[in-house]
Structure 1
Amino acid sequence: MILVTGGLGMIGAHTARALTDLGQEVVVTAHRRTGVPSFLAGRVTVEPLDVTDRDAFLKLGERYEINDIVHLAGSIPGDDPVAYFRTDTTGLLNALDAARAWGVRRFAVAASLGAYLGRPEIPWHEDLALPTAELPHLIIAFKKAVEPLTTHSLRDTGVQPVVLRIGTIWGPLVDPESPFFHIPSYVSAALRGEEPPPLHADDGGDRCYAPDAGRAIALLVTAETLRHHTYNVSSGVPATNRQFAEALRRHTPGLRLDLLPGREHGPGEDPYLDITRLTEDTGFTPAFDVDAAVADYVAWRRAQPR
């Protein structure tokens, strides 16, 4: 059985679905979010758990024979950065304790493409040395710290760490007004019949549809062997605002979407993740291009509140 913490969140739910598609038994933890997405109903076991409660976490091992852990649970920072770091570090350490106590095969953990910030090379690949750089958000700072905390904690334990440098993910269950990525709110405004704020046509970068991200993580967790401890998780190709707008027009007849010309900050490229390592070790290729992703998301939003 595979444990997915935060398994009712966007990435967690799509990971759980992909794991069940591969024939795996899955137990997901839920804390603040308790509604089970329609695509998971009846397919997973849901355990209420605050991952900061070490005793409750470890007791899961008494009820289930857990062979792998995917740790995706996390919180959103408030006004106090120390409180945020304490909460998410405690959750991570409890998950690592569980992995060691249960002797699981693999421990996969969410990191971030933000670890590469400061590298000028495009695309970003796993062999790049991580730079010392000012990080723009507390979540990115924590996710960068997750990497050494995980690998050092699991050294010589027999548990294989799998650091997931996750790209910009969107799709069903994403916050439609996400402050971290403008495409969901852009689509939401269009579906409400409003004209969204104009975007620069040639701006873009790393974009990955959530079902693809979930499948990539599931393949990494279940692969017979992995040659590395760190993997980029994304689509492997950049996408522009122009592509999203054109897809929205195709799938929302009569929609008017104006774009500003060029790039907001002048000529250049936006970074995105190279997924060569992921593809070579798991066979993963994305199933959704921009057009297919927009079509699927528009259909989802019309049928679901999120």
Structure 2
Amino acid sequence: MILVTGGLGMIGAHTARALVDLGHEVVITGHRRTDVPSFLAGKVAVETLDVTDRDEFLALGKRYAITDIVHLAGSIPGDDPVAYFRTDLTGLLNALDAARAWGVRRFAVASSIGNYIGRPEIPWHEGLALPDADLPLLIIAFKKAVEPLTVHSLQDTGIQPILLRIGSTWGPLMDPESPFNPMPPYVSAILRGDKPPPLYADDGGDFCYAPDSGRAIALLTTTETLRHRIYNVSSGRPATNRELVEAVQANIPGLDLDLLPGRQSGPGEDPYLDITRLTEDTGFTPDFDPAKAVADYISWRTDNAR
């Protein structure tokens, strides 16, 4: 059985769905959220778990024969960075403790596209040395620290660490007013009957739809042999706001939507992730281009609040 912590979040739920589709038994954990999405109902075991509670975390191993862990649980930073780091570091260390106690085969953990911030090369690939750069968000700072902590914690255990540098993922279950991706709030405004504020046509960059992200992580968890421990998780292509807005108009005819010319920050190119390593080792190719992703998301949001 495969454990997915944070399995009621956007990426976790889609990872669990992909694992089930691949024929695996899955147990997912949630803490603050308890609602199970329709596409997982009756297909996975669900446990309410605060990952910072070590005893409760380890107790999962008494109820399930867990063979692999995908650790995606995380919190949202507040005003106190130390409190945030303490919470998510405690959860990570408890997950690593569990992995060692249970002798799992593979431990996959969420890292971030933000690790590459400061590299001028585009696209970003796993062979790039990570720069010493100012990072815009506490979440990115923590994800950058996750990688060496995980590798050293599992050294000489026989457990294979897989570091998931997850790209700009969006889709069903994302916060509909998320500040991290323009499309959920854009679609939310339209579904409310409002006109969304105009986006810059050529802004964009890395693009991955949540079902594709989940399937990539599922393949990295279950593929028999992996040659690396660091993998970019994304679609391997950039997308622009122009493409996404045109897809919205194609799915909801008659909308009067505005686009601002160019890029907000001026001429240039937005970064995106190279997924050659992911494709070569797992056979992954994305199912969703921007047009298909927008169509699927609008259909989902018609019947779902997030």
TM-score normalised by length of structure 2: 0.99
Q: Does 1:186 pair with 2:190?
A: no
Which residue of the partner structure matches residue 213 of structure 1? 213
Tell me which amino acid in the other structure corresponds to 1:131: P
Tell me which amino acid in the other structure corresponds to 1:250: A
Tell me which amino acid in the other structure corresponds to 1:116: Y
Which residue of the partner structure matches residue 49 of structure 2? 49
Which residue of the partner structure matches residue 304 of structure 2? 304
Which residue of the partner structure matches residue 237 of structure 1? 237
Q: Does 1:13 pair with 2:18?
A: no
Which residue of the partner structure matches residue 67 of structure 1? 67
Q: Does 1:287 pair with 2:295?
A: no
| SS in structure 1 of the partner of residue 3 of structure 2 | strand
Q: Does 1:156 pair with 2:161?
A: no
| SS in structure 2 of the partner of residue 164 of structure 1 | strand
What are structure 1's unaligned runs of at least 5 residues? Answer: none
| SS in structure 2 of the partner of residue 76 of structure 1 | coil
- Please give the alpha-carbon distance, in whole angstroms, between the structure 1 residues aligned to 2:203 and 2:44: 39
Deviation at 1:100, TM superposition (A): 0.6
Which residue of the partner structure matches residue 107 of structure 1? 107
- Please give the alpha-carbon distance, in whole angstroms, between the structure 2 residues aligned to 1:71 and 1:117: 23
Which residue of the partner structure matches residue 3 of structure 2? 3
What are structure 2's unaligned runs of at least 5 residues? Answer: none
Q: Matches of residues 64-103 of structure 1 in structure 2 within 5 Å? A: 64-103=64-103
Tell me which amino acid in the other structure corresponds to 1:141: A
- Residue deviations 1:204-249, cap 9 Å, x none? 1011000000000000000010000000000100000000010000
Deviation at 1:283, TM superposition (A): 0.3
Deviation at 1:191, TM superposition (A): 2.1
Deviation at 1:263, TM superposition (A): 1.1
- Please give the alpha-carbon distance, in whole angstroms, between the structure 2 residues aligned to 1:237 and 1:96: 33
- Please give the alpha-carbon distance, in whole angstroms, between the structure 1 residues aligned to 2:289 and 2:242: 14
- Please give the alpha-carbon distance, in whole angstroms, between the structure 1 residues aligned to 2:191 and 2:106: 41
Q: Percent identity among equivalent residues? A: 78
Deviation at 1:160, TM superposition (A): 0.1
CA RMSD of aligned residues (A): 0.6
Which residue of the partner structure matches residue 27 of structure 2? 27
Deviation at 1:38, TM superposition (A): 0.2
Q: Matches of residues 237-256 of structure 1 in structure 2 within 5 Å? A: 237-256=237-256
Deviation at 1:257, TM superposition (A): 0.8
Deviation at 1:187, TM superposition (A): 1.6
Comparing 262-271 and 124-133, the one that deviates more: 262-271
Deviation at 1:181, TM superposition (A): 1.6
- Please give the alpha-carbon distance, in whole angstroms, between the structure 1 residues aligned to 2:183 and 2:264: 16
- Please give the alpha-carbon distance, in whole angstroms, between the structure 1 residues aligned to 2:111 and 2:192: 34
Which residue of the partner structure matches residue 128 of structure 1? 128
| SS in structure 2 of the partner of residue 145 of structure 1 | helix
Tell me which amino acid in the other structure corresponds to 1:74: G
Count matched residues: 306
Which residue of the partner structure matches residue 266 of structure 1? 266
- Please give the alpha-carbon distance, in whole angstroms, between the structure 2 residues aligned to 1:266 and 1:190: 28
Q: Matches of residues 187-202 of structure 1 in structure 2 within 5 Å? A: 187-202=187-202
